[in-house]
Amino acid sequence: MENFCQLILNGVLLGGLYATIAMGLSTILGIVKMINLAHGDFMILGSYLSFAFMHWIGVNPFWTFFLVIPVMFFIGFFLQSLILNRVVGKGMEPSLILTFGLSIIIQNSLLLFFTPDSRSLMTPLSVKTIPVTEFLNIPLLYLINFFIALGAIFILHLIFQKTYLGRAIRAASDDEGAAKLMGINTKRIYAFAMGIAMMTAGVAGVLVGMAFLFYPHTGPQYLIIAFGVMVIGGLGSMKGTFIGGLILALSQLIGAQLGGIGNQLLSGYIVLLIVLAIRPQGVFGEG
């Protein structure tokens, strides 16, 4: 029973990290209607940016948030403005090909500059736990990740619901033609949306780097996690993304406990298939 309680606790906390990983992918698909196959690689780019700042400046990885977040925003903003806007509204295939190309470029650039060796953003917090009972401990880093995920979702909700930029983003998402008639520059709005999505990818990259080892080529495995979370929770739903992260993380850890570590991914995607069979639009999806 103690092991099961610890497992559930770890799954809930890991679910917060999974939600953060998927947030940017869900945002850009819900707004721009574009699947970003480079999302995982942008997230790992955030990990490497934090690693570089940590060693150049000599600061704790948590302080690198203040550098990684604006850098990732400008990368997303200018990529959308200069490249990705050219394929918006032209079907899925051009954006898939383009973002797949960006994924290859990012992976090989990271390989060139940082070598294929594993990296991490280890801190003293990475090994600290908070004892609750004799048998139950809360991993401190997972707890921090969980609350950062909640905070990021809350901030995004405020941006989308309470600001002019957020209302313009929602208008462009709902009806691009009507938004243009109301004087909204939808291409610029899409650039801001991509910038916001890349900010969340940067946050996820720093959190993942503090929790796990990362390599230049590990982006696709986080892209798969992001897709699983997004599909379970419902496309474009912030609340759904959070719940989807919890469901996927819990199912993976329970599957690993019952069937061995080799079944971790399998159990997660069995749950994904069950959700799709029962509710194809996801738990909080519309339609």
Token couple for 248: 């996927």
Q: Is 128 helix (H, G, I), strand (E, B) or coil?
A: coil
Q: pLDDT tier at 141 (50, 70, 90 boundaries)?
A: confident
Q: What distance in Å separates the CA atoms of residue 79 and residue 5, rounded to the nearest whole number?
A: 44
Could you read off the pLDDT of 86-119 as tens digits, one per residue? Answer: 888 787 888 899 999 999 999 999 999 999 999 9
Higher pLDDT, 68 or 283: 68
Burial class (CB in 10 A: 0-12, 13-18, 19+), 90: exposed
**All structural domains of the chain with their residue ranges:** 2-278
Burial class (CB in 10 A: 0-12, 13-18, 19+), 159: middle
Could you read off the pLDDT of 224-269 as tens digits, one per residue? Answer: 999 999 889 887 777 888 889 999 999 988 888 887 777 787 888 8
Note the pLDDT of residue 101: 94
Proportion of the chain above pLDDT 70, given as a percent: 98
Q: Averaging pLDDT over each range in 10-14, 126-130, 177-181, which range is the top one?
A: 10-14
Higher pLDDT, 220 or 58: 220
Note the pLDDT of residue 99: 94
Q: What distance in Å separates the CA atoms of residue 8 and residue 226, rounded to the nearest whole number?
A: 21
Higher pLDDT, 148 or 101: 101
**Residues contacting residue 263 through CB under 8 Å, at least 6 positions apart:** 255, 256
The predicted model scores a pTM of 0.91
Q: Note the maximum CA span of the chain.
A: 63
Could you read off the pLDDT of 33-82 as tens digits, one per residue? Answer: 888 999 999 999 999 999 999 989 888 888 999 999 999 999 999 999 99
Q: What is the mean pLDDT of residues 208-221?
A: 92
Among 35-44, 179-188, 214-223, whose mean pLDDT is lowest?
A: 179-188
Backbone dihedral region for residue 202 (phi beyond 0: left; psi -120 to 50: alpha; all else: beta): alpha
> How big is the chain by its Cα radius of gyration, in Å?
19
Taken in order 257, 258, 263, 267, the sign of the CA dihedral is: negative
Note the pLDDT of residue 2: 67
pLDDT at 201 over 60: yes
pLDDT at 287 over 70: no
